[in-house]
Chains A and B, each alone.
Chain A
Amino acid sequence: MLLIEGGRLIDPRGPLDRVARLLVTDGRIKAIDPSDGDLPPDIVRIDARDRLVVPGLIDLGTELREPGREEDETIQTGCAAAVAGGYTTILCAANTDPPIDTPAAVEFVRQKAARADRCRVHVIACASKGREGNQLAEIGLLVEAGAVAFSDAPRPMANSALLKLALEYCRMFDRPIFDRPEVPELAGSGVMHQGYISLILGLPGLPAEAEDLAVARDLRLIEATGGRLHVGPVSTMGSIDLLRRAKSRGIRVTASLCPQSLALGDEELRSFDSSYKVLPPLRSIKHREAATEAILDGTIDCFVSGHTPRAQEKKLADLLEAPFGMISLETSLALVCTHLIRSGRMSWLQAIERMSTKPAEIAGISGGSLAPGAPADLAIIDPDCRWVVTPDQMRSRSINTPLLERELYGRVTHTIVGGSIKYRL
């Protein structure tokens, strides 16, 4: 039994935003502001004065890399990183080796995650066999094994015929397809946003239209099939414009973006530092402003961490050869806090909605609320904590982040999953 006292409770589903006590019993939220008579004498109390008490964060796209790429991350280290960042549930990507395209592979991840005993882990299984984009994976069997969504990410669903089939087929199970929108022929061998900066640096670019075109196609296929599709992470003005118009016409689509897409720009590549080589690429200011507008006005439903651990020796390769990606589970919340909340553009209620409540809805899983009866998946945040990102603090096995040595605000002090404390700063 836990009593969290003195904290500011934030529940987007209420909505609730006030200082109150929160009682947890039997792994579930029991009551808000319980009367003292209900409290047993041996209760564990957590002092949350000057802190926020929020539903645990939920990530729609974490690469855990195990099995097969344990040099980058393991299920153990990835889950440790998740709870350190305030995540109580993560959806793991299927790009392991072998890829997660069989019930046995789903079961492996679930068992490893249970053994890690940090956060809840749900599996995004492959949409296609072998993640090769040719034939449907055994979606029905994978649903039975516990997969909550289907995706070939980070590979885009480039084959339109296959995506159409997958959307139609998934309707039987009411499960979403996640597509990282990109037209491969237009993306080519680009390593950064295509624009003025890539031009003067002589680096091959990833043009915005490579994303725009894929989003346009995705939207049309949702209409054609009535399937559930989540696009993300998105990053361009063009795709945001398409999403806004589609939503106003009532098309059922959801979308996500990465906090780093708002906070960092293509200018950073002037350092030629491969830690800025990420997907989607860091864009120019006009795209970043459009993306900020879109996450504020709801055109983009939620944040996704884009956690992409890569071993140091891989990132040390030259800029053309180095893999895309950055670790972000442990910095996403602080980036949102530093970049959007402290600047006054976003409220905590909005931020938690976009990092917890909405992701839960999109994945069709529990969480995202402080309502009595809900699982006690919680994060306690010190919103004013100033900290500097250093490699030794990172619980991820990899340290590929461009935020090293940067100062951020906002830090998770406790993460509680199913009523037990899984992380304490």
Chain B
Amino acid sequence: MSSGLTTDKLQYPANWRRRHLLDLESLSAEELETLLDVAERLKHLTDGGRRTLPLLTGRTLANLFFENSTRTRNSFSLAARRLGAGTVEFSPSGSSTAKGETIIDTAKTIEAMGVDWVVVRHRVPGTPHLLSRQLDCSVLSAGDGAHEHPTQGLLDILTIKQHRGRIAGLTVALVGDIAHSRTARSNLWGLKKLGAHVIVCGPATLVSRDWERLGIEVCYDLDSILPRCDVLNLLRIQFERQAARPFPSVHEYALLYAMTAERMGRSKPDILIMAPGPINRGVEITPEVADGPHSVILHQVTNGILVRMAALWLLAGPGDSPK
């Protein structure tokens, strides 16, 4: 697709219209490509995300995190600062939500302080969507319950693309707790739109057959799919979101689904191992695999800053494209 971008300069794509980034389900393949392209350009222009590129000085990002987060929150803050923007932090313990204020009231108050983007994480699906209808500034989802985590999906896809040069035609397996994973949902929407073959794999209690309605392969036997997977994305078991434990023991889960050195031996020689983190070492992945040569877990972290810079810049509108 032609996003209007040249190698050295960053030109605001004429066809970009969105003001919010709430999920990947509603994005077109073209919009996804634009986000990935901008992230890739920013990588070159900022020396891999290490240098500042002051495209958005004077703007302010508000982090509104109702759930704990270290990496996503810091990643958004860093992304804003690398673009020259300021950041302001809100956390529920220190804010009025403890006093019974609704989240919409809280967000409107923050908006009234003159922020340009609100980044929201909340345990309830749809919270970013509700805010986007109430606020004039841009809303970015940093994860809403088990629904979506769009920037995580984007950074995973960017990581795959950097290592493989493409997404279309690849076989990508999302392994583990699909039911409670917002990362899984954002990945599978993004990957499907860009033409990958997606497999969801895990215990039957956490992997619904209804995913087949999206053209996604549903599988309960990791070993049977290993030889044909180009990428494995190992999702964290979300113990905190499960009402009743959907499998008998962590031990049994690890035997069936943990990525071990032995399983690596039966995989494609160039398989990519990803994990959105924080990982439960010894549950989804053994330390030698997590730290091994196929693991791109730390690339994912770097790419997180780049896709968030790309999203902030695109959502800010064309007024701030460099002269």
Contact = CB atoms under 8 A, between A and B. Distances in A.
B29 interface: no
B19 interface: no
Contacts of A271: 126, 129
Nearest to B214: A200
A316 B105 CA distance: 10
A201 B23 CA distance: 10
B116 to A, nearest CB: 24
A319 B124 contact: yes
A202 B211 CA distance: 12
Interface residues of A, number: 19
Given A202-B182, A316-B104, A195 B130 contact: no
B213 A196 contact: yes
A317 interface: yes
13 contacts: A196-B210, A199-B210, A199-B211, A201-B125, A202-B125, A202-B145, A202-B146, A203-B125, A203-B126, A271-B129, A316-B104, A318-B127, A321-B124
A202 B185 contact: yes
A313 B103 CA distance: 12
A224 to B, nearest CB: 31
A202 B130 CA distance: 16
B147 interface: yes
Interface string B110-127: 000000000000111111
Give the 3 A-B residue pairs with the shortest CB-CB distance, closest first: A272-B126, A202-B146, A202-B147
A199 B218 CA distance: 14
Contact of B185 (A200, A272, A316, A319): A200
A317 B104 CA distance: 10
A316 B101 CA distance: 10
A316 B102 contact: yes
Interface in B120-167: 122-127, 129-130, 144-148
Interface in B165-219: 180, 182, 185, 208, 210-211, 213-214
Interface string B243-280: 10000000000000000000000000000000000000
A271 B102 CA distance: 18
Q: Chain B: interface residue count, which band?
A: 20 to 34
A324 to B, nearest CB: 15
B208 A199 contact: yes
Interface in A169-196: 188-189, 195-196
B25 interface: yes
Which of B122, B129, B145, B213 has the most chain A CB atoms closer than 10 A to its own CB? B145
A320 B210 contact: no
A189 B144 CA distance: 17
Given A200-B25, A317-B102, A318-B124, A272 B211 contact: no
A276 to B, nearest CB: 11
B210 A201 contact: no
A316 B104 CA distance: 9
A196 B208 CA distance: 9
A313 B129 CA distance: 19
Nearest to A188: B243
A317 B145 CA distance: 15
A287 to B, nearest CB: 15
Interface string B76-116: 00000000000000000000000000111000000000000
Contacts of B213: 196
B147 A201 contact: yes
Contacts of B208: 199
B26 to A, nearest CB: 10
B102 A201 contact: no
Given A200-B185, A202-B146, A320 B211 contact: no
B103 A318 contact: yes
A272 B130 contact: yes
Given A201-B126, A203-B147, 15 more contacts: A195-B210, A196-B213, A199-B210, A200-B214, A202-B125, A202-B147, A202-B180, A202-B182, A202-B185, A203-B146, A272-B127, A318-B124, A319-B124, A319-B125, A320-B145
A213 B147 CA distance: 29
A199 to B, nearest CB: 5
A292 to B, nearest CB: 23
A189 B146 CA distance: 14
B186 to A, nearest CB: 10
Contacts of B125: 201-203, 272, 319
Nearest to B148: A202
A318 B129 CA distance: 12
A42 B123 CA distance: 67
A271 B146 CA distance: 16
A205 to B, nearest CB: 10
A196 to B, nearest CB: 5
Contacts of B210: 195-196, 199
A110 B285 CA distance: 66
Contacts of B180: 202
A318 B130 CA distance: 10
Contacts of B126: 201, 203, 271-272, 319
A273 B125 CA distance: 11
A324 B213 CA distance: 29
Contacts of B103: 318
A311 B89 CA distance: 32
Contacts of B130: 272-273
Interface string A353-390: 00000000000000000000000000000000000000
A272 B126 CA distance: 5
A284 to B, nearest CB: 11
A265 to B, nearest CB: 16
A354 B43 CA distance: 66
Nearest to B180: A202
Interface in A315-342: 316-321
A313 B213 CA distance: 37
A196 B211 CA distance: 8
A165 to B, nearest CB: 30
Contacts of A203: 125-126, 145-147
Interface string A265-280: 0000001110000000
A272 B147 CA distance: 11
